[in-house]
Amino acid sequence: MPWIQENIPLAPFTTLGIGGPARYLAEISEESHVVDALAFAHGRSLPVFVLGGGSNILVADEGFPGLVLRIRVRGIRSADGDRPGIATVGAGEDWDTFVLWCVQRNWAGVECLSGIPGTAGGTPIQNVGAYGEEASEVILTVRAFDRSLQAFVELGNGACGFSYRSSVFNTSQRDRYIVLSVTYSLRVGGEPRIHYPDLQRYFTGKPETPSLGAVREAVRAVRASKAMLLVPGDPDCRSAGSFFKNPVVSEEDFLRITEAARSHQCMREGESLPRFRAPAGRVKVPAAWLIERAGFRKGYARGRAGLSTKHTLALVNRGGATAMEVLELMGEIQQRVYETFSVELTPEPVLVGFPGNQ
């Protein structure tokens, strides 16, 4: 199979720019390639990893000892006239290109997800979200190859089991599905959502409701100020975005964390612990706040790995960092946050090629 290559460095396919080679790599530009590539891996008893835009992974220094399927299926198709606002997007399509496509048509629902790197196929995996919107709110169906049934399947929104940074794709059914396209349902002519404090501040004093395009620009500007927008040449962008999920806790645990913050003198007089509402009466606590108050400042360096100079939640490759160095920094942060607040931070990026994670 000419489209399967051997010993291909993976670092250039990741936003962290870290990781050794893939034993084999297959570029999947057509759905049918998946079947042949999986047969190739099966025949050689190779593990398989599905790669999108590489913006949410940390690849081991040793690389991946199996077959990497790099999903390149492209195309954005809108449904026929009787179903306005519906679009089916190839899993390998750049996500932000699709967001722009929607904004230009005045279709609301993804404008706050502007500037998130990666592919459309990556959006259902961890149910990407930002600035008050989540992919799960607009995903209608996901077309995938089901490795258990050995068949192409279509999953409705309910079957995807979406919650905060989670779906069946990264939990109970991990590694089962290879997403090939996603159908989104947008609100034609809908109003933008400006619920998030950063966005509300951006538009303070501006009289009329901003257009979807204005919200897209605002989101990108806010993201750029936090190095959460990929800007070529900016070393703060050699990251996987937020490295930890925001802990979602009970009201009782929230009070306990507040108490711990007070007793460790992590809060100023009159200050309260920041909180966001989460489903089922739970509370989302910003991981960045916990990291900062546990004693890490922006730009903190540990060898060639470090924290972004603009955001404590982004671990960056300061230049030539190894995966092991990033893991050591991750461990240091987790330990100090745990010692200070008794909160376990869960990493967001997927670990690839590490023992136990293949």
Ligand X SMILES: Cc1cc2nc3c(=O)[nH]c(=O)nc-3n(C[C@H](O)[C@H](O)[C@H](O)COP(=O)(O)OP(=O)(O)OC[C@H]3O[C@@H](n4cnc5c(N)ncnc54)[C@H](O)[C@@H]3O)c2cc1C
Nearer to ligand X, 79 or 224 (CB): 224
Distance in Å, CB of 81 to ligand X, minimum: 29
Spatial distance between the Cα atoms of 117 and 9, rounded to a whole number of angstroms: 20
Query: Is residue 192 a contact partner of residue 133, using CB atoms and an 8 Å limit?
Result: no
Distance in Å, CB of 26 to ligand X, minimum: 13
Residue 157: count of CB within 10 angstroms of its CB: 17
Of 23, 70, 165, 216, the active-site residue reads 165
Q: List the one residue out of 60, 54, 50 whose CA is nearest residue 27.
A: 50
| Residue 70 is among the residues annotated as catalytic for this protein | no
DSSP reduced 3-state for 205: coil
Of 133, 242, 292, 293, the active-site residue reads 242
Distance in Å, CB of 248 to ligand X, minimum: 14
Terminal C-alpha separation, the chain? 24
Query: Is residue 119 a contact partner of residue 93, using CB atoms and an 8 Å limit?
Result: yes
Distance in Å, CB of 292 to ligand X, minimum: 18
Query: Is residue 63 a contact partner of residue 10, using CB atoms and an 8 Å limit?
Result: yes
Of 93, 111, 134, 348, the active-site residue reads 348
Q: List the one residue out of 231, 351, 343 whose CA is nearest residue 288.
A: 343
Work out the angle between the directed axes of helices 212-225 and 95-104 (0-180°, nearest 10).
Answer: 150
Q: Which residue has the tokens 């409705």?
A: 156
Nearer to ligand X, 308 or 334 (CB): 308
| Residue 332 is among the residues annotated as catalytic for this protein | no
CA geometry: angle at 349 spanning 342 and 317, to 5°?
A: 100
Nearer to ligand X, 189 or 274 (CB): 274
Residue ranges in contact with ligand X by CB under 6 A: 15, 49-57, 71, 91, 116-119, 121-123, 125-126, 128-130, 177-179, 228, 230, 237, 239-241, 350
Distance in Å, CB of 232 to ligand X, minimum: 12
Nearer to ligand X, 126 or 185 (CB): 126
Nearer to ligand X, 179 or 249 (CB): 179
| Residue 165 is among the residues annotated as catalytic for this protein | yes
- Residues taking part in catalysis: 165, 242, 348
